[in-house]
């Protein structure tokens, strides 16, 4: 069946529904293409002319069922306009969940008046109300970029665990609020074993919401990425590896403890753009090779990530690529 775009986004509820669907598609595509869950944990849908996999509850895969429940908790915070960021992180050592190997950052903004989409150069900009066509185009582009990037990255290690952390807009979020399935987190940062790369995948605006996706992964995992889709430095359109200070100037004044990619000393070589190129085979590799875990190296570039998280343990299951999924969340 199709993931249907609304003919119009005239109400906040219509916008919310679209953002929920897009979030579900993005998380599903990422986990599918990275080989985190088995084939049975996904159904097939079509988003315009793009075939996508949608995560579903699978009694034979407790991990996928748990992630679906997490998503429902995210929807609760999103609907209340409390949710600022979702961080879905991948780690390899169950006893050390703070040391991650890859993470995905979904950022949300809300507006009552409706955002305006900017066109043109920095010097000459014209503003126009966001249309449903704008949102649809941006949504499809975001998913296509996810497919391109996930197919180019080197595979994850064989045994991986997932954790999900949430950040909120403190000025509107009640101090005791916790979405279903989540609890208060310890104020601990996340570290990378290897030098990280920061990828700004893209954003999708609606008249009432703005969704941004950023991915942080180990630099060595970018070695096999097709050079034709990489551009050094900053550009407007492509998928870009960057810190928040580079493409979110309005966030610079916010608490640095709340953002995982704020580091002014990161060299430009770690901030690259990924353009949309001719799409390769959309099917993920069925036999993804593993990677050896490098010696532990503390890297402070991702620090003090969130304040709240979930804590659940479910049984392990093997993915189609042979990885073992364990959801050990702390």
Read off the pLDDT of residues 232-244 as tens digits, 9 standing for 90 and up: 443 333 444 333 3
For 47, the token pair is: 């988003």
R_g of the chain computed on alpha carbons: 19
Q: What confidence category does residue 269 fall into, taking pLDDT thresholds of 50, 70 and 90?
A: low
Give the per-residue pLDDT at 105: 96
Helix axes 132-152, 12-33, angle to 10 degrees: 10
Give the per-residue pLDDT at 75: 97
For 10, the token pair is: 């005239």
Q: How confident is the model over 221-227, as a mean pLDDT?
A: 78
In the chain, where does DSSP find H-type helix? 12-33, 62-79, 132-152, 244-247
pLDDT in tens, 278-296: 333 333 332 222 222 233 3
For 192, the token pair is: 């990378």
Neighbouring CB atoms inside 10 A of 109's CB total: 18
Neighbouring CB atoms inside 10 A of 192's CB total: 23
Neighbouring CB atoms inside 10 A of 191's CB total: 20
Strand partners, 211: 108, 204
Query: What is the C-alpha to C-alpha distance for residues 302 and 239, in angstroms, rounded to an integer?
Result: 20
pLDDT in tens, 139-185: 999 999 999 999 889 999 988 999 999 999 999 999 999 999 998 88
Query: What is the C-alpha to C-alpha distance for residues 180 and 73, in angstroms, rounded to an integer?
Result: 5
Fold classification of 12-194+202-213+305-326 (topology level): Cell Cycle, Spindle Assembly Checkpoint Protein; Chain A (3.30.900)
Q: Which residues contact 83 (CB under 8 A, 6 or more apart)?
A: 74, 77, 108, 166, 167, 168, 169
Give the per-residue pLDDT at 264: 28
User: Which residue in the block uniquely carries the two structure tokens 């996930």?
Assistant: 150
Give the least confident one: 60-64, 137-141, 146-150, 303-307. Answer: 303-307
Q: Decide the pairing of beta strands 191-192 and 99-110.
A: parallel
- Residue 32 main-chain phi, psi, to 5 deg: -70, -50
User: Which residue in the block uniquely carries the two structure tokens 């493409």?
Assistant: 247
Q: Decide the pairing of beta strands 125-129 and 116-120.
A: antiparallel
Strand partners, 162: 90
Which of 35, 53, 21, 16 is closest to 207 using CA atoms?
16
Give the per-residue pLDDT at 231: 59
Give the least confident one: 29-43, 176-190, 213-227, 256-270. Answer: 256-270
Which of 53, 52, 79, 57 is closest to 69 using CA atoms?
57
Say whether 40 sits in a helix, a strand or coil: helix
pLDDT at 226 over 80: no
Residues 78 and 20 sit within 8 Å (Cβ to Cβ): yes
Say whether 33 sits in a helix, a strand or coil: helix
Rounded to 5°, angle at Cα 62 from 60 and 68 = 115
Strand partners, 100: 91, 192
Reported as type and span, the H/E element at residue 249 is: none
Which of 22, 250, 228, 232 is closest to 142 using CA atoms?
22
Q: What confidence category does residue 82 fall into, taking pLDDT thresholds of 50, 70 and 90?
A: very high
């Amino acid at each position: 069946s199709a993931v249907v775009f609304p003919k119009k986004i005239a109400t906040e509820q219509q916008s919310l529904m679209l953002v929920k669907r897009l979030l579900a598609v993005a998380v599903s595509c990422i986990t599918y293409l990275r080989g985190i869950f088995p084939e049975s944990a996904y159904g097939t849908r079509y988003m315009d002319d793009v075939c996508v996999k949608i995560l579903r509850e699978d009694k034979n895969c407790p991990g996928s069922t748990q992630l679906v429940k997490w998503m429902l908790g995210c929807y609760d915070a999103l609907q209340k306009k409390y949710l600022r960021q979702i961080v879905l992180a991948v780690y390899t050592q169950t006893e050390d969940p703070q040391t991650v190997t890859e993470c995905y950052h979904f950022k949300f903004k809300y507006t009552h008046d409706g955002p305006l989409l900017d066109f043109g150069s920095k010097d000459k900009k014209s503003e126009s109300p966001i249309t449903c066509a704008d949102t649809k185009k941006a949504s499809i582009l975001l998913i296509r970029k996810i497919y391109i990037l996930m197919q180019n990255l080197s595979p994850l290690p064989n045994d991986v665990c997932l954790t999900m952390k949430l950040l909120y807009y403190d000025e509107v979020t009640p101090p005791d609020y916790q979405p279903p399935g989540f609890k208060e987190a310890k104020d601990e940062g996340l570290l990378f074993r290897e030098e990280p790369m920061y990828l700004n995948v893209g954003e999708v605006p609606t008249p009432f919401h703005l969704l941004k996706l950023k991915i942080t992964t180990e630099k060595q995992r970018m070695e096999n990425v097709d050079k034709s889709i990489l551009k050094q430095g900053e550009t407007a359109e492509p998928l870009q590896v960057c810190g928040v200070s580079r493409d979110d100037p309005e966030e610079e004044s916010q608490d640095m403890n709340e953002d995982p990619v704020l580091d002014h000393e990161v060299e430009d070589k770690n901030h690259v753009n990924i353009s949309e190129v001719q799409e390769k085979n959309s099917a993920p590799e069925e036999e993804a090779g593993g990677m050896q875990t490098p010696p532990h190296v503390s890297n402070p570039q991702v620090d003090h990530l969130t304040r709240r998280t979930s804590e659940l343990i479910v049984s392990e299951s093997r993915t189609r690529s042979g990885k073992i999924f364990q959801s050990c969340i702390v």
